Structure 1
């Protein structure tokens, strides 16, 4: 296993560059994890708006019922029926909605006629939609009773309306707070792994390939008693061992920081996704290693490729904040699909056929990138041998 040993001797001599990326990543991961604050409680709470209710229909039980219903869902503000004062109240946001019930409203409703209520509102305010929904709900219920139970007295109608509109559907929200804290942190951590993985693998593989692709060393190896197939096997084994070792070192911190979460379905999927990405990154690193000709170029390519794909694909900037054109370009890199799968895994509270299909599709695409790049690399190596 002379070639295999030589592979890691070369890695050992270049350990300073590799350790820089490893230490920087670990420090950033720890800082970002400690600086993370869990999202605020986003449970729904009902908001009560200030509204004014102007009645021009006299002493009507139906109108009184409408006013009572709106008062249960909004704050009724008493204002005089003066246009100037009403406009001032709206301007200074003492109220956001002014409802005026016109004369003849009750008679028209009881006869099944369409009635238009007058409203004065703050433009483009969400309170407008909410109040319109409440009013329409009340009026539609009135119309239903008038249509199918004609002849009801106002008192009876209002009592039926109050009972019907008081009905509420209980909603149970399953909190994922315990899940989301670890999920968010681990999602960020595994996203950042892609940057460090790419940089370390490119530097390590390129440093080895620069040595073995040296013309004089190649000729000496051809004269050695080791068969070419055996030499290539040891080289492949060295690359795989280096990639797996790098992956194990990078994911080891996740077990310390997130503990038992890494043994859940989410954690195992994150590990699987990162391992598949490691294979794709190794394949790309192998191609780059067969293209670069100097150590200066090796460092430049490592920085540009690792940073460039990270910025484009959503590692440093969330994919939700990136433009459509940027995401289209990023989709031609394995990092984009790796980060996409990570985000879906981290956001999933439970798994079903739909979200698992999307996650595994992204993983397959990452693996396909690796296979395609490896195929291009093998063709390139064969072509160089033929030319030589």
Structure 2
């Protein structure tokens, strides 16, 4: 039986059809949600309804509404859009993107025998496992929130937006509303797990310690969380009063950033510069490949580090053969080329966002942080976006730039670029025929 993660769709028209279907499907979900918001009467402006829908299905915590003014059913809808967006992102990452080289296939995230035990069946079997893991994790988060003191409705909606790394909250001040150490600890831990790949989560459930230990990406993820928490706590110790509250707040901010969830227990946009920059870097790097989170992805970052190391060694030893290894496995040159190409597209997308927002009246901290955060599908930023994910501080055209970045980030850039390129080519061919 063939490994579904190795399946390649036929190129040219059939490939474009698949990618066009994906892009059109994602856009259709945004349209449906936009109609729901407008029909509810709670959002009157079309652009605001589109923005809220885009933020929902791209699992970005930016919002243009006051959640405390919305009815319960609409809060539930907001949370559901993010949960569905997270599930769709997982399915997309497992099937479509790997088939077209947009990222390394998920089976390369889960190396060796541990990988084959988790994802080596049919597509339908893989889908069943992913959905079961996603639903099971959501239920676990719901139970943990309820045990920590959240009400049933809050626990249900927050579990949906936590498992999906979406970050929508029922309150303007996000987690700060609860003023509960227990709830913040649960939220931080849940966000940390939400940024872990599905394969690694299944290893944890099965007790496959060796597979977990072999994963370079998982160890890198854990070290980043631990190291960043220590640094943020040290930098903010005096300003935040020190003690357990500072440690908890630092851990919460770090897990919210690296998982690209975007919840806030404090407005870190008003901290000193060092932790702000670190958290923004974590947002850009993002979560593990094969998780519901966004960002550049740690697996790609590890490969970039490997490429840099190889180039440095070859400067000293030009004839040396220096393979790039991830979890003991040698990364193929084709994989490294894809990562390099994705890096270029990522930088170009951020440059587009920075130029667009800055030219529409945004200051540089807002433009840079907003572009990185939107492309990573996180939400929090600096400057005008340093509050609790309120995007109304930006002009409508600038919010349009953020929407484009969110859409690109959720679909991992490649499909959108391919479809646009194909469309331009078809228009040119049509003009030549005329």
Give the TM-score, by structure 1 length: 0.28
TM norm structure 2:
0.25
- The structure with the larger Rg is 1
